[in-house]
A and B are shown apart, each in its own frame.
Chain A
Amino acid sequence: DTAVSQTPKYLVTQMGNDKSIKCEQNLGHDTMYWYKQDSKKFLKIMFSYNNKELIINETVPNRFSPKSPDKAHLNLHINSLELGDSAVYFCASSPLAGGNEQFFGPGTRLTVL
């Protein structure tokens, strides 16, 4: 059984488009995260939700909007995609906020042309 799943795994799109990435965890965790990993493999936190409530919102363009319909799901919507948005986006979860052990999804490789 997959613990943290993301769809799609690959996303290729044109500049200016709007796209969404979905994430689900079946671990019963309270906290979920979105990370961006750039081409140099730097892993940076974008957002964190604890029990459907936003607790971390790093300096991310407001074109990025997370949404958590319930504590098992955290989706990421991106408007007006730019070339610089190309990266791998990872969803993760942990039992509690600020967990040192986080469980990552397989990642979504976004390519903006």
Chain B
Amino acid sequence: GQSLEQPSEVTAVEGAIVQINCTYQTSGFYGLSWYQQHDGGAPTFLSYNALDGLEETGRFSSFLSRSDSYGYLLLQELQMKDSASYFCAVLQTGANNLFFGTGTRLTVIP
């Protein structure tokens, strides 16, 4: 089986930096993805880590430590439009699908 744990809610101030953590337990881990979902919208892909380290894409970065079964999404220079739910998702070796975490609702306040 597999499990992913994320905080259910995070609140941060506009312009600040926020980190959303994800710990996972799975067999045959291949990589960790992050998705953003605004209320009423569809999940959209943000990033993917297969190797240890930090991947940066503009204001968003994602980190993976395979030895710790841990990753995080880092959002910098927060904007009001970043208020959304963020999901980590595991890609398992031999599997043909992603297994999603329960999501973290980020609220950005002025």
Which residues in A have some Cβ–Cβ distance to B below 8 Å? 31, 33, 40-45, 48, 50, 55-56, 90, 92, 97-98, 100-107
Contacts and interface: CB of A to CB of B under 8 A. Distances in A.
9 smallest CB-CB distances across A and B, nearest first, come from: A104-B42, A43-B100, A97-B96, A98-B96, A100-B48, A45-B97, A101-B45, A100-B33, A100-B91
B102 A40 contact: yes
Interface string B91-110: 10001111110110000000
Given A56-B96, A56-B97, A104-B42, A98 B91 contact: yes
A104 B43 contact: yes
A48 B102 contact: no
Contacts of A106: 41-42
Q: Chain B interface secondary structure, helix, strand, loop or mixed?
A: strand
Interface of B: 30-31, 33, 37, 41-45, 48, 50, 85, 87, 89, 91, 95-100, 102-103
21 contacts: A41-B37, A42-B102, A43-B87, A43-B100, A44-B100, A45-B97, A48-B97, A90-B42, A90-B43, A92-B43, A97-B96, A98-B30, A100-B30, A100-B33, A100-B50, A101-B48, A103-B45, A104-B44, A105-B42, A106-B42, A107-B42
Contacts of A43: 43, 87, 100, 103
Contacts, number: 56
A32 to B, nearest CB: 11
A3 to B, nearest CB: 10
Contacts of A105: 42
Contacts of B31: 100
A69 B37 CA distance: 29
Nearest to B105: A41
Nearest to A44: B100
A41 B103 contact: yes
Contacts of A101: 33, 45, 48
